[in-house]
Amino acid sequence: MNTGPVDSSKVPRFAGPATFARLPRLDQVERADVAVVGVPFDAGVSYRPGARFGPAAVREASRLLRPYNPGLDVSPFERVQVADAGDIAANPFDIGAAVEAIEGAADALDAKLVTIGGDHTIALPLLRSAAKKHGPVALLHFDAHLDTWDTYFGAEYTHGTPFRRAVEEGLLDTEAVSHVGIRGPLYGKKDLEEDRRLGFGILTAADVLRRGLDEVIDVLRQRVGDRPLYVSVDIDVLDPAHAPGTGTPEAGGLTSRELLEILRGLAGCRLVGADVVEVAPAYDHAEITSVAASHVAYDLVSLLALQKDAQEKNAQEEQPS
């Protein structure tokens, strides 16, 4: 019997500890299949800071989440034990030390992780940890930006470089890596050429509009196949109308509805971990961005819960008749 969220019919949503979706803390359960963990770190940003406060804001917004997800037809907290693992403490003054600390803490958590950032620098240590457990992983990267640049001001570890480092370190299966939602000006055409050389496919925000959700989902599923999959969501993949509270907003992005529907279209894929990053609540009018991010995290947890259904079905099919 799994321990689920606080019953909102007995304790009002605005009362009680602000764990993700009002779930138990990790130390309150014997084990967790899925752990939601925060990484309040934003020393890798290149423009507006503030994503260090993202985990707290997303947890607060998640008070409104309910235990049944009709979009995926699953009650994730009944299906698997989900717990809030608190925050990973990362050095705010030393990016290298922070990256090492995040990797070590992720290694120590014996559960599939949905991580709330923090800036996109944190994706690199999370991918390092995932690759130790699963080998090189497929990646679906939802973002306005490529995040495959080489350096900023000579720094190799920033929120704009994690996926170049991940390719260089052999963490990714480069036959199964894609960006979704890319848009906005670049430094030059060479940015796209270098990104292609690293192995990435691109579905721009305009592609989502023109090709439609069903085709986009089909393209992504074919690219990922049956490989272990990591999903990384920079909330600035959403248009600023849907996510004003972020560090580097770009016009012309996805709607929150489009993003959620694409994620739901990944049901049945071998998701092994995910992150939602770059929520900066200081710029978030009426918690629009935090609410969107909380729903993204909830759908990612739900996708991981569905993995148990698939695993049990496969086990039954493999049993001798």
Q: Per-residue pLDDT tens for 243-271? A: 999 999 999 999 999 999 999 999 999 99
For tokens 């403490």, what's the residue? 89
Q: Is residue 10 part of a domain?
A: no
At 264, is the secondary structure helix, strand, or coil?
A: helix
For residue 313, what pLDDT is reported? 58
Binding residues: 120, 143, 145, 147, 234, 236
- What residues form DSSP beta bridges with 253? none
pTM: 0.96
Q: Pick the range with the lowest mean pLDDT from 187-196, 273-282, 301-310.
A: 301-310
pLDDT of residue 308: 75
Q: In total, how many domains does the chain have?
A: 1
Strands lying side by side in the sheet with 270-277: 82-87, 34-39, 112-117, 270-277, 228-234, 137-142, 172-182, 201-204
State which residues form the domain around 138.
20-312
For the stretch 206-242, pLDDT in tens is 999 999 999 999 999 999 999 999 999 999 999 999 9
Would you say residue 321 lies in a domain?
A: no
Euclidean distance between CA atoms 209 and 217, whole angstroms: 13
User: How many residues are there in the chain?
Assistant: 321
Has residue 317 got a pLDDT over 60?
no
Query: In the prediction, which pLDDT does 290 show?
Result: 98
Query: For residue 1, is it within any domain?
Result: no
| Unique residue bearing structure tokens 């079905």 | 313
Q: Which CATH number goes with the domain that contains 232? A: 3.40.800.10
pLDDT band at 321 (very low <50, low <70, confident <90, very high): low
Q: By CB neighbour count within 10 A (0-12 exposed, 13-18 middle, 19+ buried), where does 165 fall?
A: buried
Q: What is the pLDDT of residue 316?
A: 55
Would 7 be classed as within a structural domain? no
- Whether 227 is in a domain gets the answer yes
With 0-12 CB in 10 A as exposed, 13-18 as middle and 19+ as buried, what is 294? buried
Sorted by sequence, the CB contacts under 8 Å of residue 274 that are 6+ apart come out as 113, 114, 115, 230, 231, 232, 233, 300, 303, 304
More confident residue, 282 or 1: 282
Residue 144 included in any domain: yes
Reported as a single tens digit per residue, the pLDDT across 67-120 is 999 999 999 999 999 999 999 999 999 999 999 999 999 999 999 999 999 999
Residues of the chain with pLDDT > 70, as a percent, come to 96
Q: If phi over 0 gives left and psi between -120 and 50 gives alpha, with beta otherwise, what is residue 3? A: beta
Q: Is the per-residue pLDDT at 64 higher than 60?
A: yes
Cα–Cα distance, 101 to 98 (Å, whole number): 5
Give the mean model confidence (pLDDT) for residues 60-68: 97
- Decide if 253 contacts 284 (C-beta within 8 A): no
Which residues fall in the annotated binding site for Mn(2+)?
120, 143, 145, 147, 234, 236
Average pLDDT over residues 129-138: 98
Average pLDDT value over all residues in the chain: 96
Give the C-alpha distances (Å, rounded to integers) separating 47 from 57, 275, 282: 20, 21, 14
Confidence at residue 139, expressed as pLDDT on a 0 to 100 scale:
98
Interior angle at CA 308, CA 179 and CA 18, nearest 5: 75
Q: E-assigned strands of 185-260?
A: 201-204, 228-234
In a domain, 12, yes or no: no
At 135-145, the pLDDT tens digits run: 999 999 999 99
